[in-house]
Structure 1
Amino acid sequence: MGAFGGAEGIKRVLNYAANPLFRPTGVPTHKGFAYLDWAPVERLHIVPSVDLASNRWTLFTARPASQPQLYYRTGAYVNAGLRIDYAITDHVDIGIGGRNLFDDYYTLTDGFPEPGRTLFASIRARY
């Protein structure tokens, strides 16, 4: 069984005299990720994960060019995921899983919401 977690704080200060309303975009103040790799039996791995970030600045894009730029905060999010892998042989694994399991609506940049709940299946061959 193994686990990894990471968290970081990001502090950016940018003063732009030509545009005092300017905000640095795209980077949250806090971000973290953690997962646990649990193998209850040989060849089976269950990997829950959580990804979180605080809000970030983005630029409102649906505005006439004649209006001044408008920035807003996108909002924080917490996403949960789960992956289950099984080694059929020493060289072939199959897996199923999901991302954003609670179907949280969030956006990182104006006009582009992130995907809702997604499910997947995979097969991996090593040679």
Structure 2
Amino acid sequence: MWWEPVLAILAGLLLLYAVALVLLYLYARRHPETVSMRSAMRLLPDLLRLFRSLVTTPEVPTVVRMLIVGLLVYLVLPIDLVPDFIPVLGYADDVIVVAVVLRAVIRRTGPDLVASLWKGDDDGLRIVLRLAGVSRA
């Protein structure tokens, strides 16, 4: 059936989202001074909005757009560096790939452009910039 791969992709994305939410929840509980629980739960949807804004903004270089589209293709495809059925490690490679692409995107576009496109709260932006290893000028 044509809908089975679509359903499998959607289920995989929902599972990845749930795992990311659990990890963010655990981090926010251990480090309440770093990030609020609200910011931790909003981080993933805010990142998706940021990626969409970066892809549609004319000032963003084509290389950055290709990185973001490549990341989304990698996350949607069922083929991974480490298969997702392996507990913890299966999703760890996805998180690492997202972090590496996020770092490359922010370094190429600059933190000021990312901050201007960021739709979330300041705590979330601070986390994203810290993950990317850059500071806002």
TM-score > 0.5, shorter chain as reference: no
> Which TM-score band applies after superposition, normalised by the shorter structure?
under 0.3
Q: Which has a greater percent of helix? A: 2
TM-score when normalising by structure 2: 0.22
* Higher Cα radius of gyration: 1
Q: Which has a greater percent of strand? A: 1
TM-score when normalising by structure 1: 0.23
- Highest relative contact order (Cα 8 Å, sep 6+), 1 or 2? 2
